[in-house]
Amino acid sequence: MKIRYQTQKLAYRFFVSMLIIFALQVAFGLLLAVIQMDPDLLKGVLNFNVARAFHLNLGIVWLVTGFIGTILFIGPLLGEREVRPAWLAKFLLIAIWVVVAWTAATLPLAQKGIAGWLWNQPWLQQGKEYLEAGRISDILLLVGFSIFAYLTVHMFPKKMKKWNEMHWGLAIGVSGLAAMWVFSLWFSKNLDVQEYYRWFIVHYWVEGVWECIHISLIGFLLYKFFGADEKEVGLAVFWGVSLVVLTGLLGNAHHYFWIGTPAFWQFWGSLFSALEPLPMVFCIWHVYLDEKHGTKPLENKAAFYFLFGSAIFELVGAGVLGFTQTFAGTNVWEHGTWVTPAHGHMALFGTFGFLVIGAAYEAIRQIKGIGRFKDQLSKLSFGLLFVGMLGMVGSFALGGTKEIYIYRVLGLDWWSHAVRPAMSLSRVLLAIFGVLFTIGVIILIYDLMTLENREIEAEQDRFIQMEAPAQLGAWDKSMSAFEFGTWIAGVWFFGLIVTAGLFSFNLHSVRLGNPTIPYVSAIFGYSGIIIVTSIFAYRFLKAFEQRQKLLQMIQIPQNGNLKTIDLRDKVSSNGTNGSILDAYKKIDYGQAFILIDDQDLMHQHHRLHEVLGKKFVWEDVQNGPDLWKAKVGKLN
């Protein structure tokens, strides 16, 4: 596949930068895990708070850089025009690195207590979680975000009437990203006001405008990958974005339970943010539907792995885990403990990280002019990132549950000799899974940067001899809607157990000091979530692989060796509808037969669809005027 617009190539440099910043962020994450185990290690040299500020800020920057790369790549396709002006996009990348370098130079000033106060503003760094960078960085970032929004909207058709839902979703997303940043530009004298505005950025980004970008990008990529119906994708994007705004707007109230604001926020926050998973269920349902839409083998399976990862981690990390802690009655216990970062890590990296990595695979492939490529390395990396992240989630969640008991229930509130030793096992597990994750990142970067070495020659590809299976194993069969729903319900079942476990801290017996109920619920619930998520992902991708393999086999030209059913021959049994189904049943998976008739085959196509659903692939070979020919292939 070749790119259509020259300026799409600009995306490449953004993805390279993204990977460098991602690597740095993960390195700091690993360092934090080590400092967690030995707090004295770098004390005075690189204190925990500075390392954490790097971890958070680099995390935001690489995701935004990934968004920019993705939008520069698909924007021209959406708008059917080049990126204009191209120099501004090049300038934007330089600006990103200037801000990163400047912020990296100023964050360590926290160790000396220098914020650069002038006119009541902290110009150098400001010690607010997620927004640690100082005012100078903030202003530069606002300029950068505005350029990004301008470039994006400038790629779209001039007449807004021509915009479809994906244009709108992206436009709302990128301009909202810049608009929300304005709330970071002032110093609040009181803590409650500071926290009130801080969540305008953090919450309305990740549970608002970033989600709009996420939904639009996933929608567009699925549409491109599987030739899904544009109107249906548009419908999904419209309702996805609408649901995000409808639930997330008041859902932000879940951050205002305990910051010194009145109790009524507990009602609004509990109610609306419990609804926030709705668009996520909707999103993964569409991934399921659209994946079956494809009638040609996908050239880039790796990208789809990551897109799928994004949807499932969003559902589990943001949706289910977020749900467990969103009620005032559960939040009062887990707030301020390790249970929160279990949700935070999975939601942020999973939803947005997996998405931009998936986009990077497709963009880099096309920009480098690579066709198919061997995807073992990308799958290995995907697996390591997937398992590493789930392991980290488990470590945080179980450590956090213990922390609630020691710190909140028993009130043993000193760190060195009570809270820390209680969580020692979780710290070790966190580091181990952190290492797994890091290996995944190293493989990912190596794979993406040397993708051309793994290109499969087209000829070689065509002559792959695959044996058509007569029977399929249970894992290889396509997933029915019922099975899909059962898996999702399974994740929610264990999510509800975790929720019940967090609620159980309110029980009289637990408050008196018996942690059995919350401990058992947490162990059962979190392991359930992790196991079901993993098996579901394995099952889903296994069926996907099988379908791709069969599609590829059906595509191999057979030079007239295919069985033919002539529907003009109505006398013999050869010409009935039943015989088509018979033929379908008789052939092996990945094989095909030809239908011939002297009238349009539309009717036969519909009949077959009614009986077989998506378990066959239909290809029109000849469309009239005297003769109609179609190839029917058998899928899983």
Partner 1 sequence: MNDLEKTARKTVLPVISVMVIIWIALSVFSFSKTKKHHRPQTKNVIFGKETALKGKKIFQAYNCMDCHTIVGNGAYFAPDLTKIYKKTGPAWLKAFLGSPGSYPTKTMVKMQLKQLKKNNQTNISSLKKYLSKFEGAQKRIKYRSGTESLMPNLSFSPQQINALIAFLKYSSKLNTEGWPPKVKAKKTVIQRKRRELEKRSGLSVATGTKAANTSTPTNNSGGQSSPSAVAKGKKVAMKLGCTACHSTDGSKKIGPTWKGLYNSTVKLNNGKSVEANNAYLKQSILHPDAKIVKGFHKGKMPSFEGNISDEQLSNVIAYIKSLK
Residue 315 vs 339, nearer CB to partner 1: 339
Q: What minimum distance in Å lies between the beta carbon of 159 and partner 1?
A: 19
Element (H, E) at 615: none
The DSSP bridge pattern shows strands 592-597 and 616-623 to be unpaired
Among 91, 264, 446, 538, binds partner 1 (CB under 8 A): 264
What span, in angstroms and rounded, lies between the C-alpha atoms of 3 and 426?
A: 47
- If one asks whether residue 422 binds partner 1 (CB under 8 A), the answer comes out as yes
What span, in angstroms and rounded, lies between the C-alpha atoms of 333 and 329?
A: 7
Residue 235 vs 472, nearer CB to partner 1: 235
- If one asks whether residue 175 binds partner 1 (CB under 8 A), the answer comes out as no
Total number of residues binding partner 1 (CB under 8 A)? 84
- If one asks whether residue 458 binds partner 1 (CB under 8 A), the answer comes out as no
Furthest C-alpha separation in the chain? 94
Residues 501-530 that bind partner 1 (CB under 8 A): 511-514
Report helix, strand or coil for 373: strand
What span, in angstroms and rounded, lies between the C-alpha atoms of 72 and 70?
A: 6
Burial track 81-117 (b if 16+ CB lie within 10 A, e otherwise): bbbeeeeebeebbebbeebbebbbebbbbbeeeebee
Let me know: does 356 contact 210? Beta carbons within 8 Å.
no
| Contacting range for partner 1; rule: CB under 8 A; set: 43-51, 465-473, 577-585, 627-635 | 43-51
Residue 30 vs 445, nearer CB to partner 1: 30
Cβ-based neighbours of 194, under 8 Å, separated by 6 or more:
128, 188
Q: What minimum distance in Å lies between the beta carbon of 110 and partner 1?
A: 4
Among 417, 458, 463, 471, binds partner 1 (CB under 8 A): 417
- If one asks whether residue 256 binds partner 1 (CB under 8 A), the answer comes out as yes
Structure tokens at 140: 């530069």
Burial of 578 from C-beta contacts in 10 A (0-12 / 13-18 / 19+):
exposed
Residue 250 vs 562, nearer CB to partner 1: 250
Residues 105-124 that bind partner 1 (CB under 8 A): 110-111, 113-115, 117, 122
- If one asks whether residue 161 binds partner 1 (CB under 8 A), the answer comes out as no
Among 2, 94, 119, 262, binds partner 1 (CB under 8 A): 262
Q: What minimum distance in Å lies between the beta carbon of 192 and partner 1?
A: 7
Cis omega (within 30 of 0) for bond into 85: yes
- If one asks whether residue 421 binds partner 1 (CB under 8 A), the answer comes out as yes
Among 25, 65, 175, 337, binds partner 1 (CB under 8 A): 337
Q: Helices (H), strands (E): how many in the chain?
A: 24, 6
- If one asks whether residue 168 binds partner 1 (CB under 8 A), the answer comes out as no
- If one asks whether residue 329 binds partner 1 (CB under 8 A), the answer comes out as no
Residues 49-78 that bind partner 1 (CB under 8 A): 49-50, 52-53
Let me know: does 322 contact 278? Beta carbons within 8 Å.
no
- If one asks whether residue 253 binds partner 1 (CB under 8 A), the answer comes out as yes
- If one asks whether residue 584 binds partner 1 (CB under 8 A), the answer comes out as no
Q: What minimum distance in Å lies between the beta carbon of 127 and partner 1?
A: 4
What span, in angstroms and rounded, lies between the C-alpha atoms of 179 and 204?
A: 10
CA of 615: how far to CAs of 83, 132, 311, 480, 590, in Å? 41, 53, 24, 10, 11
- If one asks whether residue 446 binds partner 1 (CB under 8 A), the answer comes out as no
Count other Cβ atoms within 10 Å, centred on residue 504: 20
Q: What minimum distance in Å lies between the beta carbon of 184 and partner 1?
A: 13
- If one asks whether residue 162 binds partner 1 (CB under 8 A), the answer comes out as no
